[in-house]
Structure 1
Amino acid sequence: MLDTPAPAALPDAALDRIFREARTFSHFTTRPVADATLRALADLMKMGPTSANASPARIAFVKSPEAKERLRPHLSEGNADKTMKAPVTAIVGYDTEFYERLAFLYPHDPGARGWFAGKPAVIEETGFRNSSLQGAYLIVAARALGLDCGPMSGFDKAGVEAAFFPDGKIRANFLINLGYGDRSRLHPRSPRFAFEDFCSIA
Structure 2
Amino acid sequence: MNSLASDDVLDRVFRKARTYNSFIDRPVTRETLETLYGLYKWGPTSTNQQPLRVVWCVTSDAKERLAALCYAGNGAKVRAAPVAGILGMDEEFVRHLPRLFPHADARSWYGDDQALIRESAFRNSTLQAAYLIIAARLLGLDTNPMSGFDEAGVNAEFFKEGGVRVNFITTLGYGDPQTLYPRAPRFEFDEVNKLI
Tell whether the 8 Å contact from 1:86 to 1:178 is kept in structure 2 after alignment: yes
> What SS does the aligned partner of 2:68 have?
helix
Aligned counterpart, 1:49: 44
Q: Pick the aligned partner of 1:7 from 2, 10, 17.
A: 2
1:119 deviates by: 1.2
Equivalence map 1:99-138=2 (5 Å): 99-109=94-104, 111-138=105-132
1:162 deviates by: 1.2
Aligned counterpart, 1:90: 85
Total equivalences in the alignment: 196
* Amino acid aligned to 1:158: A
Tell whether the 8 Å contact from 1:99 to 1:117 is kept in structure 2 after alignment: no
> What SS does the aligned partner of 1:41 have?
helix
Looking at structure 2, the residues matched to 93 and 117 of structure 1 have their Cα atoms a distance apart, in angstroms, of: 22
Is 2:66 the partner of 1:79? no
1:114 deviates by: 1.8
Is 2:183 the partner of 1:189? yes
> What SS does the aligned partner of 1:78 have?
helix
Identical amino acids, percent of aligned pairs: 49
* Amino acid aligned to 2:91: T
Aligned counterpart, 1:35: 30
Which structure 1 residue ranges, 5 or more long, are not aligned?
1-5
CA RMSD of the aligned region, Å?
A: 1.0
Q: Pick the aligned partner of 1:158 from 132, 147, 152.
A: 152
Looking at structure 2, the residues matched to 155 and 163 of structure 1 have their Cα atoms a distance apart, in angstroms, of: 12
Looking at structure 2, the residues matched to 91 and 9 of structure 1 have their Cα atoms a distance apart, in angstroms, of: 33
Is 2:41 the partner of 1:26? no
Tell whether the 8 Å contact from 2:67 to 2:74 is kept in structure 1 after alignment: no
TM-score (normalizing by structure 1): 0.94
1:72 deviates by: 2.0
1:115 deviates by: 2.0
